[in-house]
Structure 1
Amino acid sequence: MSVHSEPPDDPDTLREKIIGLGETSLHKSYYPELQSRLAELERFRALLDQTHDAIFLIRTETGNLADVNASASTYLGYSKEELLATPFSGLLCPRKRAGFAELLRKNRDISSGFRQTYIASLVSREGREIPMEITVRFVAFGGDQYMVAIARDITDRLRTERELKIKESALESSTNGILIADLAGTILYANPSFASMFGYGEEGSVAGKTLEAFFADPTIGEKITGHLLDNSVLVKETIGLRNGGVPFHIHLSGSIVQNDAGQPLCTMLIVMDITERILTDQMKRETYTQLGKNIEQFAILGDHIRNPLQVIVGYAEMIDDPLTEKILEQSCRINGIITQLDRGWVESANVRQFLRRHGDGAEPPAQTFVRISTTGEEDS
């Protein structure tokens, strides 16, 4: 009886068996898992390429790049192939290269998982320095030591920090007192000028107090907050209260600080000590009043002198005496002096009227500002 042999496999079937894809392959059961792992790695790689952070895989032994993500190429303007041919230190600004070499030297044998963050600039193809916050972590793959460097562009953050520093310096150096309070009236910040103006040693000692502590009328603080919430701005003159209970005149201008959505966040007050101005104005008003009284007195005194002088002249003209001419001559001189005094007080009155019209400060013009009455209503 003849034995029938199996028909020979065709070339395609044989190839599938060799590479493990045939129906009878022992490796066939592992293929779906392999596909799943490869797909997972591709997804992970896609995520790394989509992140805004530049990621570098660096060989610790040599400092050369083993891999980079797409963002690294985008930031620096190099292709991936060019980056892989460049040591990581060559991408750092020159002043940071020595520090990076020292970091590699110190941590070459460190255990996997060590992490450190520092600030350095990476240099693009065009030579532009890009400030980066670089987080490095040492890891091991298959017995080889690597360093993963994740670099985040902090150009906008540094610009914002610089702008905030300038604004903070402006607040700190302002000669006017600046106060920031929450919507309940609790002080969040006071600059040195405010602390000094109100008799506090340090601006920090003001924080936490309420607005009512800084006004002679303790109800003013609550009224200011309420007014600002309704009207957003405030201009007011009132009486402040120094540490220790000493009152003094202040000028306030306030506003509401809002977020991008227009919601109120806090209140800000700018305070000026106007005690000297108020006292000067008061002195000018008193001087002006006294000037008016003096002018009026000059006019009265002139009349009081001229009336008896007319009597003397009348009697002198009625008598026949050699001294009559002398009496009339001196009377005429006295009348001339009185006439000069009359011109003087008239000129003084004209000066007074001029000062009143032009408001040079001798009689301070009426000031217009928002005044909060004790009933809580606003008056002009």
Structure 2
Amino acid sequence: MSEHSDHRTERDNLREKIIGLGEASLHKSYYQELQARLAELERFRALLDQTYDAVFLFRAKGGRIVDVNATAEVYLGYSRGELLSRSFDDLVSPAQRSDFIAYTRRKHRSPAESEETYRVSLVSRDGREIPTEVAFRSVTFGDDRYIVAIARDITERIRVERDLRIKECAFESSINGILIADPEGVVTYANPSFAEMFGYSGPEALRGMNLERFFVDPSAAEEIVRDLLENQPIILETEGLRSDASPFYIEVSGSVVRNEAGDPICIMLVVMDITERIRLDRLKRESYAQLGKNIEQFAVIGDHIRNPLQVIVGCAEMIDDPLAEKILEQARRIDEIITELDRGWVESANVRQFLRKHGEGVELPERRPISLSSQTDEDS
């Protein structure tokens, strides 16, 4: 084949490649690559549409939305066309709009590829305000600056944070001491009441201490941890130990917090200072016991009064004198007074029931008042 023929064949092959003919066509190679890129973009868009976050692309200057994912439509209730006809500023709550516009203006002037997070409420099509946390990223395509906004609905997070703040305030303001420790018994949290109760400068001073430090008997702490981890509820009265090593009476109740797998995360103790209650209980027991003794002594004294009184009555009845009747009358009055005292105190069912219930072993005498008249009849 001649040189001219070879040159012509090479030229024809090149022409076929350019216009898309032949096996080695440049057009065919470019088309395949384009199809692959388009398929990749479709997969990426499908991935964006399935994300939990709403994604917006809008111009840094003016805020006009140029693209959104399907989640943004679901969040706000707008169609894609409705969103593309708006600026991102239009979606922001009116109460926050001025601050947000000022923020995006600063963002427009910020360096490309920078990223920030901003909390803002977006208004849905039905007027509902949705609290979101939006991550903004400034990007540049050619000569144009855009902002990618990835918004996440934080309604549930705000509710949880509010509930946690309420619980934390309840813990902090509780008059009872509250202590949280890990499963090994190492303190991770204490409220101000606990720190004050045990004589420490503040809750932070207790972090890292072992529970044994707060009990006169260290084995009490071991018993508490063991019972709680074994799901045994506890209400224990024992002696606590202050920072200055002085003991005092406490009542401890507790519970264990477990994760979804049932493994213990921490234990919580509620501690009350019951020193005053113990003191009052002891004082009441002593008072009841003393009251029982006093009643018993009073009953004995009544007998002691009646014995000589009977002698007086007997002697008066043997005296033949007008004054003897006066003596007997006064003796009967004394006997009636003693009998009334017996009936009002010793023989009172309410007093006896109360003392037997609260007196802890107080023994009351069984009184049977002696009748002077019957005694006198027998003597006579």
- Normalised by the length of structure 2, the TM-score is 0.84
Residue identity (%): 59
Question: Which residue identity does 2:291 align to in structure 1?
Answer: L
Structure 2 equivalent of residue 256 of structure 1: 256
CA distance in 2, matches of 1:123, 1:19: 53
CA contact (8 A) 1:214 1:241 kept: yes
CA contact (8 A) 2:288 2:355 kept: no
Is residue 328 of structure 1 aligned with residue 318 of structure 2?
Answer: no
Question: Which residue identity does 1:333 align to in structure 2?
Answer: R
Evaluate the alpha carbon distance shift between residue 104 and residue 298 of structure 1 in structure 2; reply closer, same or farther with a 3 A threshold. Answer: closer
Other structure's SS at 1:196 match: helix
CA distance in 1, matches of 2:163, 2:359: 45
Other structure's SS at 1:219 match: helix
How far the C-alpha of 1:266 sits from its partner, in A, is 1.3
CA distance in 2, matches of 1:97, 1:364: 74
CA contact (8 A) 1:240 1:248 kept: yes
CA distance in 2, matches of 1:322, 1:50: 121
Structure 1 equivalent of residue 310 of structure 2: 310
CA distance in 2, matches of 1:20, 1:77: 48
Other structure's SS at 1:184 match: coil
Structure 1 equivalent of residue 350 of structure 2: 351
CA contact (8 A) 1:187 1:209 kept: yes
Provide, for residues 301-337 of structure 1, a one-character-per-residue CA deviation record: whole Å limited to 9, x for no partner.
1111211222233333344556544443443333333
CA contact (8 A) 1:132 1:152 kept: yes
Give 1 or 2: higher helix fraction.
Answer: 2
Evaluate the alpha carbon distance shift between residue 32 and residue 280 of structure 1 in structure 2; reply closer, same or farther with a 3 A threshold. Answer: same
Structure 2 equivalent of residue 195 of structure 1: 195
Alignment of 1:213-362 (within 5 A): 213-320=213-320, 323-347=323-347, 349-356=348-355, 362=358
Alignment of 1:5-154 (within 5 A): 20-23=19-22, 25-154=25-154
CA contact (8 A) 1:136 1:148 kept: yes
CA distance in 2, matches of 1:345, 1:232: 47
Gaps of 5+ in 1: 1-15, 366-380
Alignment RMSD, CA only?
2.3
How far the C-alpha of 1:363 sits from its partner, in A, is 3.9
CA contact (8 A) 2:17 2:27 kept: no
Segment of structure 1 superposing worse, 318-327 or 137-146: 318-327
CA contact (8 A) 2:212 2:220 kept: yes
CA contact (8 A) 1:299 1:345 kept: no
Provide, for residues 43-100 of structure 1, a one-character-per-residue CA deviation record: whole Å limited to 9, x for no partner.
2122112111111111112210111111111111111111111111111111222223
CA distance in 1, matches of 2:233, 2:224: 10
Question: Which residue identity does 2:210 align to in structure 1?
Answer: T
Evaluate the alpha carbon distance shift between residue 41 and residue 296 of structure 1 in structure 2; reply closer, same or farther with a 3 A threshold. Answer: same
Detail structure 1 runs of 4+ shifted over 6 Å in the superposition.
Answer: 16-19
CA contact (8 A) 1:65 1:85 kept: yes
CA contact (8 A) 2:18 2:26 kept: no
Segment of structure 1 superposing worse, 78-87 or 305-314: 305-314
CA distance in 2, matches of 1:70, 1:243: 61
Evaluate the alpha carbon distance shift between residue 350 and residue 35 of structure 1 in structure 2; reply closer, same or farther with a 3 A threshold. Answer: same
CA contact (8 A) 1:227 1:234 kept: yes
Other structure's SS at 1:261 match: coil
CA distance in 1, matches of 2:327, 2:144: 130
- Normalised by the length of structure 1, the TM-score is 0.84
Structure 2 equivalent of residue 11 of structure 1: none
How far the C-alpha of 1:356 sits from its partner, in A, is 4.6
CA contact (8 A) 1:20 1:28 kept: no
Other structure's SS at 1:126 match: coil
How far the C-alpha of 1:18 sits from its partner, in A, is 11
Question: Which residue identity does 1:352 align to in structure 2?
Answer: V
Evaluate the alpha carbon distance shift between residue 336 and residue 363 of structure 1 in structure 2; reply closer, same or farther with a 3 A threshold. Answer: closer
Question: Which residue identity does 1:350 align to in structure 2?
Answer: A
Evaluate the alpha carbon distance shift between residue 26 and residue 210 of structure 1 in structure 2; reply closer, same or farther with a 3 A threshold. Answer: closer
CA contact (8 A) 1:187 1:208 kept: yes
Question: Which residue identity does 2:20 align to in structure 1?
Answer: L
CA distance in 1, matches of 2:343, 2:42: 105
Question: Which residue identity does 2:83 align to in structure 1?
Answer: L
Gaps of 5+ in 2: 1-14, 362-380
CA contact (8 A) 1:236 1:251 kept: yes
Evaluate the alpha carbon distance shift between residue 232 and residue 261 of structure 1 in structure 2; reply closer, same or farther with a 3 A threshold. Answer: farther
Structure 2 equivalent of residue 6 of structure 1: none
Structure 2 equivalent of residue 211 of structure 1: 211
Evaluate the alpha carbon distance shift between residue 268 and residue 20 of structure 1 in structure 2; reply closer, same or farther with a 3 A threshold. Answer: farther
CA contact (8 A) 2:345 2:351 kept: no
